[in-house]
Amino acid sequence: MTERLTIARLGQRGDGIAQTAAGSVFVPGALPGEIVLAEVTGDRGRIVSFENSSPDRVEPPCPLFGRCGGCATQHVAPAPYGAWKREMVVTALAQAGLDVPVDALVAAHGEGRRRATLHARRTQSGVVVGFMAARSHEIVPIDACPLLVPALAAGLPAARALAGALTTTGKPLDIQMTATAGGLDFDVRGHGPASPKQRTALTGLAGRLGLARLSLHGDIIVQLQPPVIRVGPADLLPPPGGFLQATAAGEETLGGLVVEAVGKAKVVADLFAGVGPFALRIATRAAVHAVESDAAALAALDRAARGTPGLRPVTVETRDLYRRPLLGPELARFDAVVFDPPRAGAEAQARALAASAVPVVVAVSCSAATFARDASLLAAGGYALYRVTPVDQFLHSAHVEIVGVFRKTPQARPRRALG
């Protein structure tokens, strides 16, 4: 059914939202203030034509925008885009009952994304390699992406070559590529273990493609150069397929905010520490205890810390903080605690921190909703949320990073949203 829709606002995924008698209709590519003619199915609308155009509309930099699902907001001008991302954080905090000043969005795209995951599938017409279409399992072939660092440009043909060699089983593949100081680092998932013959062939292919390292499901097939990443003062060799912040500028921005927040603390806990983007920076001024469930990530952090002169002591502990959060007696020795959990947040650890007397807590999150939930738990325990900074390293997406700084004082009480 075709309907005339007036777009009222941008939704959390970047869709324009129109209010109708039947409820909200989500229209990708539409902006607030625009009137569109759209084909409506359920709560989704597809633009047929525009009656007017918003002054906030700009020309998308990528010709695949609207087909590729990697970006949602290339058509939005910078100022309203920044306001939209910041407002997502403000709204989440207000819904949790917290009235807290929120900084302006900090741009942290830098030179672009240093890591990306491509999808590959063999079809009747050949091997297709690219990103997924929005809300679909269709793969949109990618020859270039303006959001990637220049070094990953060579990764696209390399990914196609690897997919051609590995899709013979018919299984879909996920190909993670990372730009490092040593060259391109690839980890391929979905193929299963390689036979000795396949390992030999892949070793030769990796050499011809000039890769630093090639792995299957974290199993290193060949390493021709150490795929080193610079993390603060340290050179880090990440585990195959391991998690890294998407952009170098994003990691530097988040790390700088965290180091500033812990201030003059002498002993700091870094929880959900990963490969140490915060621990290795904090260790330039304080002793750090890093806790993480991923043993390979923690081992990489430990090696980097031991190989970097001038750092304060860094200790590591492999531990599942969802099942076994650090509790009061363990937390009592720290002057500050940093936690940076996955998207699900850190509810159990936040509850334990709320009951502690740690002077400073720094929460880093990639989800406004779970950040707000964990912040409300800390506020209920007497922590005041002094500063919230949204950071944008996923340009043109609906994702936003957040750094929140909490301090426990005798006067601290949860601050309730007005109204």
> Would you say residue 412 has pLDDT above 70?
no
pTM of the model: 0.93
The two tokens of residue 134 are 């929005």
Rounded-to-integer distance, Cα 47 and Cα 336, Å: 50
Does 417 score more than 90 pLDDT?
no
Domain at 115-229, CATH from 2.40.50.1070, 2.40.10.10, 3.90.1150.10, 3.30.420.40: 2.40.50.1070
Residue with tokens 């879909």: 172
Question: Of 221, 228, 219, nearest to 179 (Cα)?
Answer: 228
- Residue whose entry in the numeric block shows the structure tokens 């994702």: 399
pLDDT band at 290 (very low <50, low <70, confident <90, very high): very high
Return the pLDDT at 168: 79
Residue 416 has pLDDT above 90, yes or no: no
Question: Who has greater pLDDT, 413 or 79?
Answer: 79
Query: For the chain, what are the domain ranges?
Result: 2-57, 82-109+244-408, 115-229
Q: What pLDDT shows up at residue 205? A: 97
User: pLDDT, tens digit, for every residue of 175-198?
Assistant: 999 999 999 999 999 988 889 999
User: Does the pLDDT at position 43 exceed 60?
Assistant: yes
Please tell me the distance from the alpha carbon of residue 117 to that of residue 187, in angstroms, as a whole number. Answer: 9
Do the two domains 2-57 and 82-109+244-408 of this chain adopt the same fold? no
Tens of pLDDT, residue by residue over 351-388, are: 999 999 999 999 999 999 999 999 999 999 999 999 99
Q: How far apart are CA 117 and CA 185, in angstroms?
A: 12
CATH of span 82-109+244-408: 3.40.50.150
Q: CB 42: neighbour CB atoms within 10 A?
A: 9
Q: d(Cα 192, Cα 390) in Å, to the nearest integer?
A: 39
Q: Output the DSSP codes for 225-272.
A: S---EEETTEEE-PPTT----S-HHHHHHHHHHHHHHHTT-SEEEEET
Which helix (H) or strand (E) element contains residue 380? helix 368-380
366: annotated active-site residue: yes
Q: What is the CATH number of domain 2-57?
A: 2.40.50.140
Helix (H, G, I), strand (E, B) or coil at 38: strand
Structure tokens at 403: 């750094």
Secondary structure (DSSP) of 146-214: TTB-GGGGGHHHHHHHHHHHHGGG---EEEEEEEETTEEEEEEESS-PPPHHHHHHHHHHHHHHT-SEE
Q: Please say if the pLDDT value at position 410 is more than 90.
A: no
- Answer yes or no: is pLDDT of 215 > 80: yes
411: pLDDT confidence band, cut at 50, 70 and 90? low
**What is the radius of gyration, based on Cα positions, of the chain?**
23
Residue closest to 238 by CA, chosen among 294, 175, 173: 294
Residues in CB range of 151: below 8 A, 6 or more apart: 114, 179, 184
Q: pLDDT grade, residue 171 (50/70/90)?
A: confident
